[in-house]
Amino acid sequence: MGALGEYLGSLRRSRTLSIRQLASSARLSPSTLSRWESGRTRPSAYELDALLDAVKATPSERRQAWELLDASRAVRRLREGAACALAVQTVPSMPLAGDLLKSLRLRTGWTLQQTATQLQIHPATLSRWERTESWPTDEQLHRLCFHLHARAEEAIALSMGRLTLCYDQKPFPSGLPALTELVRDLEQAVILVEPALEDLYYLALEMHLWRLLQCNTPVLKLLISVYVRHARALVNNARLIEAQTPAYRALHLMSRAEPLDYRWLGAAHVVAKGAAESGSRPRPLQGVEVLRDWLPVAARLSRPYEAWFRRDLAEYLSQTRSHTQALETSQYAMQIGQGIGEDRHVLLSHALVLLNVGRPSEALELLESSSLTWDDNRGPMQTVHESIIWARALHRAGLNSEAFCWVERARRTVEAQNLWQVRSRVETLSRDVET
């Protein structure tokens, strides 16, 4: 710990900055910086990043600082999270056809055992196919595509072999300017990927970028952006468990990219959501820990992302005993989020917080008095999320017939889109409303 403190002190002195001057530039407390330099405490990974930005550290200085940081609290937490039940592969690697096979299985909601039973093979054989260690025969692949409801384009891509993933509807460019424009259009929703082919599209694009990266083409930042977009697309389709893999891979590569793009913070949001919501029971405090680590970065880079992170913090805190803190955080998120395009999100989030802390009448009043007009063009997961909030508020107000209409809206969306990861939440709410 002392070596890192001494190094940070030497960086500051080499810029002829006082502790107070540097702390102000990095938006830190002078006492916090003093404790780091004396070796009494250690910064989180994201506080260190803010400090290195403030001193305009060179790439070699950054590498030295990160090596001295070693197992920081934030990095250690991410590594531990990756080793938990989610079994996330955090180190990025080039996607292969086996990754698409696995995506098809998970999209269907089948386990290895269920799928292997359908094909009359051993689960270990299917596992090797998904890891691309071996590959099915043409007959086996045809049967697998049939049982997993693969689209024609996906079946064609898989038939080309285990080392290839092609998206042939519109081949990806290889030139850096055209690729940069493609990724920008993806981020701004100028390019709309057909939902049924998102798995193939993103895996094929990631493979394309990996090949260019191996040829020393400077596409690292583009690859990070695609990982983040992939993760968010999976979350929007209620595939939170799968979204952890591209999100963690984006975070892994972010330590090599300077400066940080605020849009990459979507990866931290997905990791926090996975920490809080994945598994057999909620773990809201784990989501709080991840968000608090990243909040200084969000506040520094983007006001909308700060509002987003704060409202998620409020939602997770409201699931614990920290009700006062949850309400204060939610109210602050509303203050900074309204007027910058976040009005709908912060109003819905505040209504959810009010429900969680036992103030349903205020939640329903907020929903009914705000401009939250229904939009049938919203994504499937957002449709389910909003329907659940309305149903809970109406149910708690004793308006069960109206609440049941919202439950049915959520159920229809779940069944139409096979959102199996949220089906149990909707069924539980349905039972509550019916009793």
Q: Are residue 351 and residue 381 in the same domain, yes or no?
A: no
pLDDT in tens, 144-183: 999 999 999 999 999 988 888 888 778 899 899 999 999 9
pLDDT in tens, 139-151: 999 999 999 999 9
- Half-sphere exposure at residue 327, Cβ-oriented, CA atoms within 13 angstroms: 11
Q: Indicate whether 89 pLDDT > 80.
A: no
Residues with Cβ within 8 Å of residue 414, at least 6 apart in sequence: 238, 384, 420, 422, 423, 426
Q: Are residue 358 and residue 378 in the same domain, yes or no?
A: no
Whether 330 is covered by a domain: the verdict is yes
What confidence score (pLDDT) does residue 64 get? 74
Domain boundary among 108, 141, 159: 159
CA distances for 99 relative to 11, 94, 172, 204, 385, angstroms = 44, 10, 19, 10, 29
Residue 201: count of CB within 10 angstroms of its CB: 24
Q: How far apart are CA 314 and CA 349, in angstroms?
A: 8
Q: In the structure, what pLDDT confidence band is assigned to residue 72 with cuts at 50, 70 and 90?
A: very low
CATH code, domain carrying 130? 1.10.260.40
Q: How far apart are CA 408 and CA 384, in angstroms?
A: 10
Whether 51 is covered by a domain: the verdict is yes
Whether 378 is covered by a domain: the verdict is yes
Whether 428 is covered by a domain: the verdict is yes
Backbone angles phi, psi at 86, to 5 degrees: -70, -25
Whether 242 is covered by a domain: the verdict is no
pLDDT in tens, 243-288: 999 999 999 898 888 889 999 999 999 999 999 988 767 899 999 9
Q: How far apart are CA 402 and CA 57, in angstroms?
A: 58
Q: Which domain holds residue 128?
A: 97-159
Q: In this predicted model, which residue has the larger pLDDT, 330 or 49?
A: 330
Q: Are residue 388 and residue 328 in the same domain, yes or no?
A: no
Q: Are residue 65 and residue 28 in the same domain, yes or no?
A: yes
pLDDT in tens, 180-219: 999 999 988 888 888 889 999 999 999 999 988 877 779 9
What confidence score (pLDDT) does residue 46 get? 62
pLDDT in tens, 317-366: 999 989 999 999 999 999 988 878 778 888 999 999 999 999 999 999 99
Domain boundary among 129, 159, 189: 159
Q: Which residues of 145-164 are buried (b: 16+ CB within 10 A; e: fewer)?
A: bebbebeebbbebbeeebee
> How is residue 403 written in tokens?
């609440």
Whether 333 is covered by a domain: the verdict is yes
Tally of domains in the chain: 4
What confidence score (pLDDT) does residue 376 get? 62
Percent of the chain with pLDDT over 70: 91
Q: In this predicted model, which residue has the larger pLDDT, 377 or 14?
A: 14
Domain boundary among 312, 343, 362: 362
Q: Are 308 and 345 in contact (CB under 8 A)?
A: yes
Report helix angle 400-417 to 423-434, nearest 10.
Answer: 160
Whether 143 is covered by a domain: the verdict is yes
Q: Are residue 378 and residue 350 in the same domain, yes or no?
A: no
